[in-house]
């Protein structure tokens, strides 16, 4: 009888500890291993074979799942989380790695892509219909990621790794111009005292700078684009479209319905900025890029010319003379006056021209493009650099999908 009692006790313990458990995962998902419990409810319990019987039903779905939650904002009411910081704080949902980690599970830079059966999830207009969207589709591709213009422009400012700043760029604004019509040279030195050559020899700068000598500034003069110059445009687009600035811009525009795919985005950029059109009634003498970034001479005056790098290059060549500034706005924006000396010996003035010095070419291209698509022929107001208010004015040319002009307005 004594031996039988011992065997019965052992059988009872064995059955309780191995064949079944009275412990549950309710309220315990993703907790650390607990030796006082008969079973566990964490991501490694499957490896050790000690998961509670309700682990799958309680911890692998619903509020404990990252399904359609990847990249969400932190919410203290959630029992587990699916954002970039959850791994740091050890509170990710158990399926975070499966659903939210790896490029193949994300719509980053994939919004509007063509269907590919080899993809593990999809980022096009039909994925919701077929229930096979990547988990961050709503955040990145449906206008929910970067909702308004200021959210986008703040993100672009943070992502602008090719911006020149600090000791790499020294600006000498010198004299304040109180009377614009007088056209008096009140500043004896160049605007740009120093630009670190190493900083503008990497990133997108080389392909951008290569474009600056491809244009004839006098309107009515045909811009002949050689095969080499056409390739320089493609190389520039290749470079800028590989930046996070343009990734964010594409995701925003695609989410708002302004572009349908990456190829459509590139085609629209190429047309609005680089396709030649006429300002003289016949000759293909201009483009959006030439007007805004390089500048033109029309009716005896400089028009456009809103890029700081083009101005810096011309100061090095001795073809532009900085007169002074009339106003400024943080960060890095001034309204200035200058004289452009042409090869024919003539001098052309720009009484007021706005530039945002230090900004990368992709940053300006991105902001001008978004403002043109979203608020064509009007003033767009937004913030950058932590809430500093900026405005951009855009114009089309004769109602066509060409950039007529775009500039930061003071």
Q: Reply yes or no on whether the pLDDT at 5 is more than 70.
A: no
| Helix, strand, coil % in the chain, rounded to nearest 5 | 35, 20, 45
User: In the structure, what pLDDT confidence band is assigned to residue 71 with cuts at 50, 70 and 90?
Assistant: low
Q: What is the mean pLDDT of residues 315-344?
A: 94
Can you read off the two tokens belonging to residue 75? 């919410």
Higher-pLDDT residue of 80, 105: 80
Of the residues 81, 122, 298, 306, only one is catalytic, namely 306
Residues 253-268 have pLDDT tens digits of 998 899 999 999 999 9
In angstroms, the Cα distances linking 314 to 186, 212, 294 are 19, 10, 10
pLDDT at residue 115 in the model: 75
pLDDT at residue 21 in the model: 53
Q: What is the DSSP string of 139-207?
A: HHHSS-SS-SHHHHHHHHHHH-TT---GGGEEE----B-S-GGG------S-SEEEE-TTTTSSTTHHH
Residues 230-241 have pLDDT tens digits of 999 999 999 999
Q: Reply yes or no on whether the pLDDT at 138 is more than 80.
A: no
Known active-site residue 306: yes
User: In the structure, what pLDDT confidence band is assigned to residue 109 with cuts at 50, 70 and 90?
Assistant: low
Q: Reply yes or no on whether the pLDDT at 14 is more than 60.
A: no
Q: Reply yes or no on whether the pLDDT at 310 is more than 80.
A: yes
Known active-site residue 291: yes
User: In the structure, what pLDDT confidence band is assigned to residue 144 with cuts at 50, 70 and 90?
Assistant: very low
Q: What is the mean pLDDT of residues 302-318?
A: 97
Q: Reply yes or no on whether the pLDDT at 103 is more than 70.
A: no
Can you read off the two tokens belonging to residue 306? 């809103």
Q: Reply yes or no on whether the pLDDT at 292 is more than 80.
A: yes
Q: Reply yes or no on whether the pLDDT at 208 is more than 80.
A: yes
Q: What is the mean pLDDT of residues 296-318?
A: 96
Residues 180-199 have pLDDT tens digits of 999 999 999 999 999 999 99
pLDDT at residue 101 in the model: 66
Mean residue pLDDT of the chain comes to 85
Q: What is the mean pLDDT of residues 349-357?
A: 96
pLDDT at residue 69 in the model: 73
pLDDT at residue 108 in the model: 67
Distant-in-sequence, close-in-space partners of 62: CB < 8 Å, separation ≥ 6: none
Of the residues 122, 268, 291, 298, only one is catalytic, namely 291
Does pTM top 0.75 for this prediction?
no
Q: What is the mean pLDDT of residues 328-357?
A: 93
Residue with tokens 């970067």: 146
- Would you give the end-to-end CA distance of the chain in angstroms? 98
Residues 160-185 have pLDDT tens digits of 999 999 999 999 999 999 999 999 99
Of the residues 81, 122, 298, 350, only one is catalytic, namely 350
């Amino acid at each position: 009888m004594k031996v039988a009692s011992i065997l019965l006790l052992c059988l009872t313990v064995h059955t309780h500890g191995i064949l079944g458990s009275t412990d549950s995962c309710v309220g315990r998902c993703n907790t650390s291993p607990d030796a006082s419990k008969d079973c566990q409810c964490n991501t490694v319990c499957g490896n050790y074979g000690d998961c509670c019987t309700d682990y799958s039903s309680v911890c692998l779905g619903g509020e404990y799942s990252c399904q359609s939650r990847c990249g969400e904002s932190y919410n203290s009411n959630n029992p587990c989380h699916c954002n970039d910081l959850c791994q740091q704080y050890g509170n990710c949902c158990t399926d975070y790695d499966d659903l939210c980690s790896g490029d193949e599970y994300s719509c980053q830079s994939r919004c509007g892509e063509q269907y590919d059966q080899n993809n593990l999830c999809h980022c096009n207009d039909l994925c919701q219909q077929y229930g096979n969207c990547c988990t961050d589709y709503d955040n990145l591709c449906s206008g929910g990621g970067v909702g308004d213009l200021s959210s986008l422009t703040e993100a672009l400012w943070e992502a602008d790794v090719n911006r020149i700043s600090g000791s790499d760029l020294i600006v000498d604004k010198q004299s304040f111009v109180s009377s614009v019509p007088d056209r008096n040279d009140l500043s004896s030195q160049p605007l740009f005292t120093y630009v670190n050559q190493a900083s503008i020899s990497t990133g997108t700068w080389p392909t951008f700078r290569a474009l600056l000598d491809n244009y004839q500034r006098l309107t009515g003069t045909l811009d002949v684009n050689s095969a080499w110059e056409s390739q320089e445009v493609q190389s520039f687009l290749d470079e800028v479209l590989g930046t996070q600035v343009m990734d964010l811009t594409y995701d925003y525009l695609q989410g708002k319905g302004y572009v349908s795919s990456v190829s459509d985005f590139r085609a629209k950029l190429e047309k609005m900025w680089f396709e030649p059109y006429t300002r003289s009634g016949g000759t293909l003498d201009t483009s959006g890029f030439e007007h805004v970034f390089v500048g033109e001479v029309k009716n005896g005056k400089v028009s456009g010319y809103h890029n700081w790098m083009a101005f810096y290059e011309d100061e090095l060549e001795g073809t532009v003379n900085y007169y002074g500034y009339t106003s400024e706005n943080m960060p890095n924006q001034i309204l200035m006056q200058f004289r452009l000396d042409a090869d024919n010996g003539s001098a052309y003035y720009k009484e007021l021209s706005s530039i945002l010095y230090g900004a990368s070419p992709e940053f300006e291209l991105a902001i001008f493009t978004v403002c043109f698509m979203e608020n064509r022929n009007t003033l767009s107001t937004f913030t950058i650099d932590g809430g500093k208010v900026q405005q951009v004015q855009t114009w089309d040319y004769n109602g066509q999908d060409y950039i007529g002009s775009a500039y930061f307005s003071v």
